[in-house]
Structure 1
Amino acid sequence: MKIFEDCGNTDIEGVDSTNACYGGTAALFNCVNWVESSSWDGRYGLIVSTDSAVYAEGPARPTGGAGAVAMLIGPDAPIAFESKFRASHMSHAYDFYKPDLASEYPVVDGKLSQTCYLMALDSCYMGYCKKYEKLQGKQFSMADADYFVFHSPYNKLVQKSFARLVFDDVARNASSVDESAKEKLGPFTSLKGDESYQSRDLEKASQQVAKPEYDKKVQPGTLVPKQLGNMYTASLYAAFASLVHNKSTTLDGKRVMMFSYGSGLTATMFSLHLTEGKSPFSLPNIAKVMSIDHKLKTRTKFEPEKFVELMHVMEHRYGGKDYVTSKDTSQLAPGTYYLTHVDLKYRRYYAKKEEIKVANGH
């Protein structure tokens, strides 16, 4: 609020959404619902979806990452929601959770989490197809979407997820499925429940069948998640930002399928319809302002030992009070807000690194 207050703007409504990796999607839907409601008064909505995904020492640590994505919600946007086709799945699962509030590290059941993810994906896709078919009066299949964007804990799961949807279309005998796919994946449709999630043979066969379409429909949305690792709430939207970055001039009229997942578990599949848009809210201009290439190229490289050292500092300070942070801002981009200190009453104070002043048009 300090940022808004400094501009004299206090007539604001908002809420923090904390819901595992799904929190950003929950906030996004709340914002869209507001703009579509009788309560809307013409103002823009703003979502900031951000997380730091850190893990205790062990095999999960290298998948961690951090990111933030801001989304502006308003009328006549180039990115439009097909809200009526949205399908969700919620159930109770201890696949990934944070029971120790004194630690930022989660308890992770990796195998269960992957199964939960794929199970929720199946459920959401089937629900989406049913809603589409009910409202449109015709069958939906993967051929009716131009791109697919997934919550990305790690890219291998994204590959498995797209392949799973290909298998789903074979299992439901979608009219768009070719004979080759039916021949290769048809024998696996007799597998029951968990059997299909655990079958390595099905996983391998479906990924082989899906590979050509994966390269066209999924690969363009994998750049940032591959480069940054897991970002929790920002993950899906960083992937979507990758798609806009890579294809901004050819997205007019395209449908993008989005799959959001949060452990515990909550998941939603929804779709977006894209148009070129008008300045300043055109897709090419959005891609230009995001400046993803520049941001990736200007990152600072640290050795693993240095990262471990910084993690130890984080562990010591997490939930702590009465400390001052480093005054070294050399690694921060101009305009970045950063924490300066936390006082005895746990109050947090921030400063902003000065912007680079532009003189004489240079």
Structure 2
Amino acid sequence: MRNSPSIGCMYIHLFSGCVGRKYLVMSNSDFGIIALEIYFPKFYVSQHDLEVEDKCVGKYTQGLGQTSLGFCSIQEDINSMCLTVVSNLIRRTNLDLKTIGFLEVGTETIIDKSKSTKTVLMQLFETAGNFDVEGTDTKNACFGGTSALFGALNWLESSYCNGRMALVVAADIAVYGDKSARPTGGAGAVAILLGPNAPLVIDFGLRAVYMKHCYDFYKPNLSSEYPIVDGHFSLNSIITTPWRDTLPKVNNAIDYMCLHAPFTRLVQKAIGWLAMIDMRTEGIIADTLNDSDVFLSSSKAGQLCHNNHQMTSKSEYFDQIDPSIFNALKDYRLLDDKHIPDHQLDTICLKATESLYRRKVDPGLMFVKNIGNMYTASLYACLVSLLLNTSKAELLGRRILMYSYGSGMASAMYSILIHPDRDLSTILNCSLESSNGLSHIHKRLFDERTQVTVSQFELMLKERELSHNSAPFEPTFRPEGLFPGSYYLKNVDDRYRRFYEKLSEC
């Protein structure tokens, strides 16, 4: 399954790339995220129902930490999802498309080896008469969205931006042929509007990239949506990577963490292991703790946030971790003897970091638990979830760690500063302070989706498999599987051209 190697890679690469890449100064324009829009399928199946059907009760809900799985029928594809999420963003923000000069799509869901999804999205720009929009698609497993984001930020800081804004779309459909892997599927899209003077400032003081060649997950069969996966990626290399210089920044300068999240339990394990490493290297952290002050002041927004920031001191940080881990770790010599992680140590680390996980990480996992793996959109769905589930008072002036990982492999870590003086309500078009604590996005997720049985789920997946690359083809129209205002695949003609229509917004 794809997620097994990701566990190792998340542990390994969260630290490795940052060595020697310190405190890059952001420009005075505070480029970052102005608005976010999330889209997920209306159809879903209960993970409990899946584990009952598969005769493994507890494996998906407790073992993976999942509640439900969102999926697309054959009337949705990567183009329709991207059309929907971008059109929703345009409508909600009343966006003038003439102000957009860059649009790039990050995805590994390929339905055409030549034509990009970005060019399909250009249909939305026709009425505005704007065809001067740079960017295409970018692909590397779950890293495509982050690569597109970095490209957009580079364009914003360039001399040819001319005051325009950038759009990035991270979107994927995750499906598996192996029935045992299907509970780790999912689908979703996030549209990101970027520009100057943003409420969410992207600060590359902690930006790091780590890339290497490996075959942990890949899709060489272009006639199928299904991947080939090596589930035996070794965890040993965690101890050989140069992560030490990064630890003080992560521990003491970070208020929240959004990590690439194929499933909930993976993220919990990652946080447990981070804390375990901190315990074993306490002296290293103490020696370099002052780095976090430099890190916080690496940009104009960073200096403002520094004034409001609730800096976690070394003692306060360790107070959040159950002291039982100190005694338990005496039995392990991970750093010295390259001990291979086992279930017992996992359990110790998970228990010891429950409080830390609930405060810094869990608010960002709402979509992961209820939709599943969105591949390249998963990290940005975590960011949306964090903003929706955290009060304004707990967000302003804070810093978010963003960790992106894509198999094959490409990874990066960077941070977002939440500006202390800018309005956050416009990012998602909700106050974050509603009387019942629920936004329109919460209601769509928990009240407005269509649940199907396991047999219906399997039938629709089989239908999707059999119709892949078919032409001419007209999918079954299922309005109960579409939210109002969604785009859907109307038909594919005998020349493989795909045509889309939009469901009424009423």
Give the aligned residue type for 1:256: I
Confirm or deny: 8 A CA contact 1:78 1:281 kept in the other structure: no
Residue-by-residue CA offset, 1:47-74 (whole Å, 9 max, x unaligned): 1111111011421101211111111100
- Tell me, in whole angstroms, the C-alpha distance in 2 between the residues paired with 1:243 and 1:89: 25
CA distance in 1, matches of 2:126, 2:196: 25
Aligned match of 2:442: 293
Higher relative contact order (CA 8 A, sep 6+): 2
* Structure 1 segments unaligned to the other structure (5+ residues): 130-138, 357-362
Matched, 1:278 2:428: no
The separation in 2 between residues aligned to 1:39 and 1:87, in whole angstroms, is: 26
Residue 329 (1) aligns with residue 479 (2): yes
Partner Cα separation in structure 1 for residue 337 and residue 138 of structure 2: 32
Q: Deviations over 1:68-119 (max 9, x none)?
A: 111110011111112132112111111111121111011122342x849x94
1:228 matched residue in structure 2? 371
Displacement after TM superposition at 1:284 (Å): 7.1
RMSD value, Cα: 2.6
DSSP 3-state at the match of 1:38: coil
Partner of 1:266: 410
Aligned to 1:132: none
Identity fraction in percent: 38
Query: Of 312, 328, 343, which residue of structure 1 is paired with 2:462?
Result: 312
SS of the equivalent of 1:110 reads: coil
* Aligned match of 2:224: 103
The aligned amino acid for 2:275 is: V
Give the match for residue 69 of structure 1: 190
Instruction: Quote how far apart the aligned CAs of 1:209 are.
Output: 2.0
Output the CA distance in 2 between the equivalents of 1:111 and 1:153.
Answer: 17
Question: Match for residue 64 of structure 2?
Answer: none
Distance 1:286 1:15, change over 3 A: farther
Q: Spell out the pairing of 1:1-362 with structure 2 (5 A cutoff).
A: 1-112=122-233, 115=235, 119=238, 126=244, 128-129=246-247, 139-173=248-282, 174-175=285-286, 176=314, 178=318, 180=323, 181-185=325-329, 188-191=332-335, 195-196=339-340, 198-249=341-392, 250-275=394-419, 277-278=422-423, 281=426, 285=430, 291-296=440-445, 297-356=447-506
Note if contact 1:34-1:40 (Cα within 8 Å) is conserved in structure 2.
yes
Aligned residue number for residue 89 of structure 2 = none
* Distance of 1:110 and 1:290 partners within structure 2: 38
Going from structure 1 to structure 2, the CA distance change for 1:355 and 1:292 (only over 3 Å counts) comes to closer
Higher mean C-alpha displacement, 235-244 vs 86-95: 86-95
TM-score, normalising length: structure 1: 0.86
From the superposition, tell whether residues 282 and 325 of structure 1 become closer, same or farther in structure 2 (CA, over 3 Å). Answer: closer
CA contact (8 A) 1:248 1:284 kept: no
Paired with 1:6 and 1:125, the residues of 2 have a C-alpha distance of 50
2:99 corresponds to which residue? none
Distance 2:160 2:245 in 1: 29
Q: Normalising by the residue count of structure 2, what TM-score does the alignment of the two structures yield?
A: 0.63
User: CA 1:43/1:193 → structure 2, altered by over 3 Å: closer, same or farther?
Assistant: farther
Range with greater deviation from structure 2 (160-169 or 338-347): 160-169
Aligned partners of 2:214, 2:175: CA distance in 1, in Å? 21
1:124–1:248 Cα change, 3 Å: farther
Q: Which amino acid aligns with 2:461?
A: M
Pair 1:342–1:152, CA change in 2 (3 A): same
- The answer as to whether partners of 2:199 and 2:424 remain within 8 angstroms in 1 is no
Match of 2:249, SS? coil
- Once residues 18 and 333 of structure 1 are traced to their aligned partners in structure 2, the CA distance between those partners, rounded to angstroms, is 28
Alignment partner, residue 360 of structure 1: none
Deviation at 1:313, TM superposition (A): 1.3
